[in-house]
Structure formats: structure tokens, C-alpha cells
Amino acid sequence: MASVPSVDDDRLASLIDTVEARPSMTVTAPATDEALGSVPRCTAADARAAVESARKAQGEWADRAVGDRAAVLDTVGEAVLDRQRWLVDVLQAETGKARADAFEEVLDVAANADYYAREGPGFLASERRSSMLPIVTKAVEHRHPKGVVALIVPWNYPLTLVLSDALPAILAGNAVIVKPAEGTPFSALAAADVLADTALPADCFQVVTGDGPELGPPLIEHADAVGFTGSTETGRTVAEQAGRHLTDVSLELGGKNPAIVLADADIDRAAAGAVDDAFANAGQLCVSIERFYAEETVFEAFRDRFVSRTRQLTLGADTDWATDVGSLQSAAQLEKVTAHVEDALDRGATLLTGGRARPDIGPFVFEPTILTDVPDDARLTDEETFGPVVRIESVPDAEAALERANDSRYGLNATVWSGDRSRGESLAADIECGTVSVNDSYRTVWACLDGPMGGMGDSGIGRRHARQGIEKYTEAQTVATQRGPPMKHPAVPHRVWAGAVSAFLRARQRLPGWLR
């Protein structure tokens, strides 16, 4: 049986003990299905108290110069790299993911901290805006913090989706309260430990552990903005609750992400990228590819190389850096993945590789699985599997591939493989997804921190990364100053005034753009 790192650490214990006299909830290690530790089961009253104390601390934080706030992000970036071994241990302990996948979370946080420390102050700077009367009026847009931001975070990337989302909110002058998934609270507590060693006021970052139905509603009601990452079904509930309270909300939801392999693609490269796209973090990645469409002239070659590379992957529920694919996070995930595969096979799909749970490796380990000839009525045709399971299908041409790729209620992420980059980029622009990689796996898009990332359709609203990833945590305010006579009807007949204004606008439209 696999062993896992301990989370019985003084750094975490001190944070857990901050909420006293509460019933506890047990956290299970996916690698062993044994108790890993326990955290308080906070109440709705705890959530409201957290918002209240965060609001009191937030004003002081917002009053600090943006350069001072950016310095905190620099500290965070350095700290996560300095503590990477400990953070990776915590991540592996409560997620069961492969060590390389856990390290990617640490790397992502460090990269986001560096990006927003460097670019964020510019995104928050006040900017001049043009006016209809540019000579006599002046308009300036300011960015103010929302106040208290609640982040409701899933279990698949419990460090990235805490800190990488919290950092732009903090830089913008907000306080942040995190409600982690029930199965992965220790990563959020580890994030709190990192921030505790910075100049951020203590109550400006808090973690409330417990059940989603208990803590979600009071956080949504009393916070000023909510960021949620998770299933589309739960996202609808969050959006409904936020709508009732007029709370700003950003949602990254489910996906059934497609990939297109064109006839002119480098098939070896596409097959290698497909393995990465499909099986990173055991497929438990919002932007993982779950369906591949290859043009028929290269389908067999792509299929055979993809299957061959997949069979070479090493499975494990351990801390060995050589492990390629780790465990699923829970019994519920294993049950869902198994059900999707069995349903597809029962309906006539063909199994190319994998297809089995591997309790000999770990209680929730499932083999990387490739299916083909999957009928349209199978569950995995349009339901997100969120595991190491993909389907590959042959299509006659690029147009058919595009049609199949867009035949989904989801629109989160996609990949295109083509030997002609311009053609690949053109096809990518026609895919109805918020992000698309050309000739590489999801990592190309994920690492593009200066490009917004999010979903279309049932994959959510709002964006993370880039300017949009920090502006969503701010309120825009326009201050317009009149430097000439007041803008009102002059003491002339209305008809004369209307004619003069119309003539002015016609003349303005004829000016070069830079003079308007």
C-alpha cells in the first residue's frame, strides 16, 4: 500500500486551532483511503464572522500604496519556491496526484505572483478617458477594490485555485476568504501559512473549513464578490444565490474539451501532446481534453501512436517523481469514471487501452483509458468525465472536425494540431471555447498569464489571468471634470441648439481618429 506525507505539521496545526470548540471533519488520503487528519466543521455564523473581521481589516490594506501591496506578491512567489517540498507534500497527501503534477501547482502560484506583482499595478492605475468635448472636459477612470472576496475552491488544484486567484484580489486591495473543498482543506491552510509571513494584515486572508451547503450561502450573501470554480450544476446554484444578493460572481465551470488533429499535423508530436492533454493530473483538470477528432487520412497513425504512448505511462499513488499518473481524488470520482467507461462499452464503444481500476496500486487509481466508436447516446459523449478517459474518432475533414468540436454545451478549452500554423490558428479562432492551444497541450494556454482564461456557454462566466483577472475584483469609477462652461442647453431655442450640436458631431466624425 502507498504511503503519503504527513500533514500533522505545527504550521498547519496553529491555523486549524484558530477555530475552537467546533465539531471536526476528517480528511482522507486518496493514496491509502485512510484518515489524513481533521479540520473544524465551521458554521454559517463562522462564515459571517470571517466576513465581518475581513471587512474591518480590508480598509487598512486598501489604503496602502499599490507598490507595497505588490511587494507582498513578490514575497509569496519567493516563499512558495522556498517551501516547495513541503507544499508538494501537502498537495500529494490530500489529492493523491503525481508529484510532478503537484509541483506544477507550486510553479503556477510563483508565476502568477511574479506576473501580477509586475503588471498588476499598471492594471490598477487610473487612466484618462476620452470625452465628447475633450478640450473643456476631463474624464478619469479609477479602480477601487470590491471589499471582501469569497473564493469557493474545488479539490483538483487546491493550491493554485486558492493563491493564484487570491493574489490579484489581494493586490487590488481586497480581503479574501477561502472556502476549500471538504476533501482538500490543508492546501488552503498551507496558503494561509505562506501569507502569514508577509505584510498582509492577518484578517485579510482567512480560511473557513466545512461543508459547502453550510458555508456557501452566507459567504455569497455577505461578501462583495465571489469566485467559484467547480461543476456547472453547482455553479448555477452559486449564480442564483449571488443574483438574489446582487453579489458579483465569476465562475469557471465544467468542460468537455475537444482536440482536432488535421491531416498535415506532426503525428508524433500530436500523440505526445495528446497524452499530456488527456492524462495530466489523472484527467482531473478543467482544461483536460476528453475528445479527439482526427482527419481520416491520419486517424490510424494518430490512434496507434497515442495508444502506444499511453501504455508507457507509469501509474502510482506515491511520492516518486517517476510516476506519470496518480490517483483519482475520491471514491466518488472513481465511481463516476468507472460508470462512464462501462456505459460506453455497454453501448458498443471499442476499448483501445486501459479501462480498469487498479486497486493493486491505490484504492482510487484508474488506468489511462482510450475509447473509440463511442455512440452519441453514451454518457461520456456530452458529460464531463473528469478522469483519465478520452474518446478518439475519425472525421472526414477539418470542417467536420470543427462541427463536432462545437457540438457541445460547454466551451472551456480546446487544442488544434496542424503543420500549417496559420491554418491551425484560423481553425482555433472558430472553436467556441474560451482558450485554444495550437500545436501544444493545455500548458501553452495555461502559461499565458497575459491572456484571459475562462469559458463560454455552460463553462462559466468571467475570466482569470491577465487584466481581466484583476479587474473583476475592482469597481470602476469615472470622475469627469468640467473645465469650461457647464454642459447644458445654452440660452437659445432648442432647435438652434440641436442643429449646432449635430453640426459639431458631423464635423468631429470627419476628423482623423487621433484627433477625435
Residues labelled catalytic = 252, 286
CA count, 13 A, side-chain hemisphere, 23: 5
Residue 444 burial (C-beta neighbours within 10 Å; 0-12, 13-18, 19+): middle
Is residue 196 within 8 Å of 202, Cβ to Cβ? yes
CA distance 210 to 441: 35
Our measurement of the distance from residue 417's CA atom to the centroid of its chain's CA atoms, rounded to an integer in Å, reads: 24
Contacts of 347 (CB under 8 A, 6+ apart): 374, 375, 377, 378
**The dihedral sign for the CA sequence 440, 164, 110, 156:** negative
Task: Give 340-346's long-range contacts (Cβ < 8 A, gap of 24+).
Answer: 340/378, 340/379, 340/380, 340/383, 340/385, 340/387, 340/389, 341/369, 341/371, 341/380, 341/389, 343/378, 343/379, 343/380, 344/371, 344/374, 344/375, 344/378, 344/379, 344/380, 344/391, 345/371
Q: How many helices (H) and strands (E) does the chain have?
A: 18, 20
Owner of C-alpha cell 466545512: 210
Cα–Cα distance measured from residue 384 to residue 111, given in angstroms and rounded to the nearest whole number? 29
* Cα distance between residue 174 and residue 285, in whole Å: 28
Q: Is 358 exposed, middle or buried (0-12, 13-18, 19+ CB in 10 A)?
A: middle
- CA 60 to each of CA 145, 147, 489: distance values in angstroms, whole numbers, following the listed order: 12, 11, 44
Contact 449, 474 (CB under 8 A): no
Contacts for 5-13 with beta carbons within 8 Å, 24 or more apart? 5/89, 5/90, 5/92, 5/93, 5/319, 6/89, 6/93, 7/36, 7/37, 7/89, 7/90, 7/93, 7/94, 7/186, 8/37, 9/86, 9/90, 11/190, 11/193, 12/90, 12/186, 12/189, 12/190, 12/193
CB atoms closer than 10 angstroms to residue 143: 19
